[in-house]
C-alpha cells in the first residue's frame, strides 16, 4: 500500500504520518510499534554502557566498543544526519510450547531465535518497506537491523515499545521478550510515545533461574558468565567452573526468558508466528558427535541460512564436547576420544578430554 505525502498543517501531518506508519508496521507483521525522539541523546543509558565497557564486561566482543556516538544519538553522521524520530518495532519469534516440544532434540538445545532460518533477511525486507513509506511521507529514512551499533533496547524503551526487565531484556506487554527488534530512523518529526514503567515488581525468577549466576544484581548481567556469550561469542576454552551450568545448551540459552511470566502469558495466546522461526529440519540429521567431527565443508553447509554459524566450527565442536560431558553418556566416549586426539583446535581437544574425564568419573560412581 502506498500512502501519499500529507501536505496539511504541520501538527496534523505529524499525527497522520505517525498513524500511517503504525498501521503499515502492524500490517507488515510487526507485533508492536513505538516512536521516540532521535535527536535527544541517550545520556543515562550511554553512561551505563560506558561503565560496562570500562569494566571489560564486553569480553571478546570488541565491536561493542566501536562508534560510541552512534550509541548515544541517532541524528549524527553515523546513522542519519537530521534524524528526528526513531520508529522502533518488535517482531515476536516465540512459538507455542507444543510447537517447541515437537522440535528435533538437538534444536531444543539451541536458543529459540536461532533454531530456524536466519531472521535478518525477513526482518530487513519488512523494515525496508516501512522506510519506503516514511520516504513517501516526505522524510529521509534509514532502516536498521543490526547494521549500526545502536542501543536498540534503550531506544525501544524510550519509544514505549516495552520496558527493560530485571533480566535486562525488553519486555513488550502482551507479547513478551522473545522478540526481534528493528528501527527506522527518519527525519520526519513524529510525536513520541511515552515510555512504559517497569513492571517486574517483586519477581526475581530470571535472576534465580540463571544456570551460571550471570546476574550481578537485577538489571545487571555480566555477559562473561552468560551462556549466550560463552557458547556463541567466546573464542577459546570456556572456564571450567561454568561448564556444568551450560548443561545441554549447545548454542545460547533462553532460561531467563522461559521463566518470565510475561512470556508464559504471551505463549497462551494464539499468534501468527513466521515460518522462518520454526526449527530447521536439518537438525533432525545432525548429532552432537557429528558437530565434534565437523570439517570445513560440513560447517559451510550447516551455517547456510542459519544463525548458528556465528559460534564458528571449533566453537560448535567445543560446545558439543561440553554438552556430551554434561550428559554423561558413555556411548559418546569414542567420538570424544577422536576429538581429543585429532581436532585441529586445542581448546576443542581440551574440552573433549574434560568431558571424557567427566563421563568416566560418573561411570565409576
C-beta closer to ligand SF4: residue 45 or 254: 254
Regarding 110 and contact with ligand SF4 (CB under 6 A), the answer is no
> Considering the rule CB under 6 A, would residue 206 count as an interface residue with ligand SF4?
yes
End-to-end C-alpha distance for the chain, whole angstroms: 67
Which residues lie closer than 8 Å to 168 by C-beta, 6 or more apart?
153, 219, 220, 221
Binding mask 68-87 for ligand SF4 (x = CB under 6 A): --------------------
Place of cell 513524529: 190
185, β-bridge pairs: 86, 142
Stretch 161-200: interaction string toward ligand SF4, x if CB under 6 A: ----xxx--------------------------------x
Among 146, 193, 248, 290, the one annotated catalytic: 146
Q: One symbol per residue from 277 to 316: x for binding ligand SF4 (CB under 6 A), - otherwise; what is it? A: ----------------------------------------
220 binds ligand SF4 (CB under 6 A): no
Candidates 6, 205, 310, 327; binder of ligand SF4 (CB under 6 A) is: 205
Tell me if 203 contacts ligand SF4 by CB under 6 A. Answer: yes
Compute how many other C-beta atoms are within 10 angstroms of the C-beta atom of residue 190: 25
Instruction: Say how far apart CA 249 and CA 111 lie, in whole Å.
Output: 8
Q: What percent helix, strand, coil does the chain show, rounded to 5? A: 50, 10, 40
Ranges within 251-270 binding ligand SF4 (CB under 6 A): 259-262
Q: Which triple of cell numbers denotes residue 311? A: 559460534
Q: Is 329 a catalytic residue?
A: no
Nearest distance in Å: CB 225, ligand SF4: 17
Contacts with ligand SF4: how many residues (CB under 6 A)?
A: 12
Burial class (CB in 10 A: 0-12, 13-18, 19+), 195: middle
CA distance 260 to 14: 37
Phi then psi for 9, rounded to 5 degrees?
-55, 150
Q: Which helix (H) or strand (E) holds 339?
A: helix 333-342
Binding mask 126-165 for ligand SF4 (x = CB under 6 A): ---------------------------------------x
Residues annotated as catalytic (active site), given as ranges: 146
Amino acid at each position: 500500500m502506498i500512502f501519499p505525502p500529507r501536505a496539511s498543517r504541520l501538527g496534523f501531518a505529524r499525527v497522520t504520518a505517525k498513524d500511517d506508519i503504525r498501521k503499515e508496521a502492524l500490517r507488515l507483521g510487526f507485533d508492536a510499534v513505538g516512536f521516540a525522539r532521535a535527536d535527544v541523546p541517550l545520556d543515562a543509558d550511554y553512561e551505563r554502557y560506558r561503565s560496562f565497557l570500562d569494566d571489560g564486561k564486553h569480553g571478546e566482543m570488541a565491536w561493542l566498543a566501536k562508534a560510541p556516538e552512534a550509541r548515544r544519538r541517532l541524528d549524527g553522521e553515523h546513522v542519519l544526519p537530521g534524524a528526528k524520530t526513531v520508529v522502533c518495532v518488535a517482531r515476536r519469534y516465540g512459538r507455542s510450547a507444543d510447537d517447541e516440544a515437537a522440535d528435533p532434540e538437538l534444536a531444543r538445545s539451541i536458543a529459540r531465535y536461532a533454531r530456524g532460518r536466519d531472521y535478518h533477511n525477513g526482518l530487513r525486507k519488512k523494515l525496508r518497506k516501512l522506510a519506503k513509506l516514511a520516504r513517501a511521507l516526505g522524510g529521509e529514512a534509514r532502516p536498521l537491523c543490526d547494521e549500526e551499533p545502536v542501543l536498540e533496547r534503550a531506544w525501544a524503551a524510550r519509544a514505549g515499545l516495552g520496558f527493560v526487565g530485571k533480566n535486562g531484556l525488553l519486555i513488550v506487554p502482551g507479547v513478551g521478550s522473545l522478540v526481534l527488534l528493528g528501527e527506522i530512523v527518519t527525519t520526519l518529526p513524529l510525536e513520541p510515545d511515552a515510555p512504559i514503567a517497569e513492571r517486574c515488581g517483586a519477581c526475581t525468577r530470571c535472576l534465580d533461574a540463571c544456570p551460571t549466576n550471570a546476574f550481578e544484581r537485577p538489571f545487571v548481567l555480566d555477559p562473561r558468565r552468560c551462556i549466550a556469550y560463552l557458547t556463541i561469542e567466546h573464542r577459546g576454552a570456556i572456564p571450567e567452573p561454568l561448564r556444568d551450568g551450560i548443561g545441554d545448551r549447545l548454542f545460547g540459552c533462553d532460561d531467563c526468558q522461559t521463566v518470565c511470566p510475561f512470556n508464559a502469558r504471551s505463549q497462551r495466546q494464539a499468534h501468527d508466528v513466521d515460518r522462518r522461526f520454526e526449527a530447521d529440519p536439518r537438525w533432525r540429521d545432525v548429532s552432537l558427535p557429528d558437530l565434534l567431527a565437523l570439517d570445513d565443508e560440513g560447517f559451510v553447509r550447516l551455517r547456510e541460512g542459519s544463525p548458528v554459524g556465528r559460534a564458528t566450527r571449533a566453537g560448535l565442536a567445543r560446545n558439543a564436547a561440553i554438552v556430551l560431558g554434561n550428559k554423561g553418556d558413555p556411548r559418546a566416549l569414542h567420538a570424544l576420544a577422536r576429538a581429543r586426539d585429532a581436532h585441529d583446535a586445542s581448546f576443542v581437544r581440551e574440552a573433549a578430554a574434560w568431558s571424557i574425564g567427566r563421563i568416566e568419573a560418573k561411570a565409576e560412581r
